[in-house]
A = this chain, B = another copy of it.
């Protein structure tokens, strides 16, 4: 009940877009950046799935790049659609998070 996995619903898209705004990244890297940002409970499969979904939706570009420290890496980056989606989603999040925070504080204000 009110687990992080449920809180993530819908917001993971936004988090991934935000991370990619700061530079192209591949799945494993995006995962590490999200966890470093405070989203410790994100599962790897969720990130890979989200990247695939956003790519299929036309919000991301994608290209392979070999690595010297392991397997190939599939890089993703924001395109114009992705940046617009990020902007719209950020607004929605701000409205939503603002409403929630106000709701949680209401008692103290009274």
CA gap between A45 and B19 in the complex, in Å: 34
- B7 contacts A2, CB within 8 Å? no
CA gap between A3 and B88 in the complex, in Å: 10
Q: How far is the CB of A81 from chain B (nearest CB, A)?
A: 10
- B100 contacts A100, CB within 8 Å? no
- B1 contacts A37, CB within 8 Å? no
- The residue in chain B whose Cβ has the minimal distance to the Cβ of A2 is B89
CA gap between A92 and B3 in the complex, in Å: 8
Q: A9-B10, A18-B104, A21-B107 are in contact. Are A99 and B37 (CB under 8 A)?
A: yes
User: Is A43 positioned at the interface, with any CB of B under 8 Å from its CB?
Assistant: no
Residue from B7, B13, B19, B99 within 8 A of A103 (CB atoms): B19
Nearest 4 pairs of A and B residues by beta carbon: A6-B10, A38-B99, A9-B9, A2-B89
Residues of A that sit less than 8 Å from B by CB: 1-11, 13-15, 18-19, 21-22, 37-39, 54, 57, 59, 85, 88-90, 92-104, 106-107, 110
